[in-house]
Amino acid sequence: MKIICWSALLLFGLILTASPAFSQSDSLPSGELAILLSPQHLFLRGYHLAVESKPKRLKNQGILFSARLYNGSTRFADQFTKREEEPEDFSRVKGLGAELQHRFYLPHLFRHSNAHHYLAYGVSYHHFNIDFEKEGWVQDLGPDGLWYYQYRYSNFTEKINRLGAIALFGTQQRYFSDRILTDGSIGIGYNHSTATSTFHYLRFDRNLLDYGYSGFYFFLGFKIGVILR
């Protein structure tokens, strides 16, 4: 139910980008450069900053590069998994990531629409370190110089490497003399994650909102930005 609610909010953002603002021409402005933010990722303590360029030599095409930084509590992601039922474990995520997209704008699609529509594909990479405190098996050095397993409260770390690919359909809309930009997209993606943990099992691979999820997922995205030139 929670996933459905958040998807509905992102879908509203996608609809917003399709609202009338200006007439679509047969080609898009070339040489344009824009910077965009993804506010929905703040819930996962992710800070996504994207730069999109529409090179003059690539008519009706764009290249988008997104840099990602993660730092903060995992409690929002925990609410969508069984971790919500467990005692507070003070888990925190730190991570870096990047995504590269190639976009093909479709000026002849939906002739009566006032938005710019596009098809895109992209690839991404993320690395996460998640530290948490929990009861688990740890090795302690005994008085006899031997190592013994003890079940006690301790600090653990889960390290995740995630590769992804995505295909998107999106719309862009401009406001206030074409300086403010909104970007909504919908698509299908696939993530492949590998992880190691000092805990006795992996904890952050429960569903598509989790940091170490592997598998296909349905994507709804929203960005807001400024056209620099």
Q: Give me the chain's average pLDDT, please.
A: 85
Q: What are residue 7's DSSP bridge partners?
A: none
User: Is the pLDDT confidence value at 18 over 70?
Assistant: no
Distances (CA, A) of 137 to 113, 140, 154, 198, 222: 59, 10, 9, 9, 42
Instruction: Provide the phi-psi class of 110: left if phi over 0, else alpha when psi is between -120 and 50, else beta.
Output: left
The tokens describing 93, both together, are 């995520």
pLDDT in tens, 176-199: 878 899 999 999 999 999 999 999
- Grouping H, G, I as helix, E, B as strand and the rest as coil, residue 80 is coil
Query: Of all helices (H) and strands (E), which one includes residue 165?
Result: strand 147-175
Rounded CA gap, 223 and 172, in Å? 9
Q: If you count DSSP H runs as helices and E runs as strands, how many of each does the chain have, helices first?
A: 2, 8
DSSP per residue over 38-56, as a string? Answer: -GGGGGGTEEEEEEEEE-T
In the numeric block, the tokens 């993320």 are attached to 126
CA angle 129, 135, 140 (to 5 degrees): 90
Distance of alpha carbon 229 from alpha carbon 193, whole angstroms: 38
- pLDDT score of 156: 94
pLDDT in tens, 62-118: 999 999 999 999 999 988 887 876 776 789 999 999 999 999 998 776 666 677 899
Q: Give domain 2-227's CATH number out of 3.30.70, 1.10.3470, 2.40.160, 3.30.200.
A: 2.40.160
Contact 127, 160 (CB under 8 A): yes
Q: What is the domain partition of the chain in residue ranges? A: 2-227
Q: Which residues contact 57 (CB under 8 A, 6 or more apart)?
A: none
Q: Residue 89: what pLDDT?
A: 76
Count of other CB atoms within 10 angstroms of residue 5:
8
Q: Helix, strand or coil for residue 178? A: coil
How many Å apart are CA 56 and CA 95, to the nearest integer? 34
Average pLDDT over residues 138-151: 85
In 3D, which of 102, 98, 111 has the Cα closest to residue 67? 98
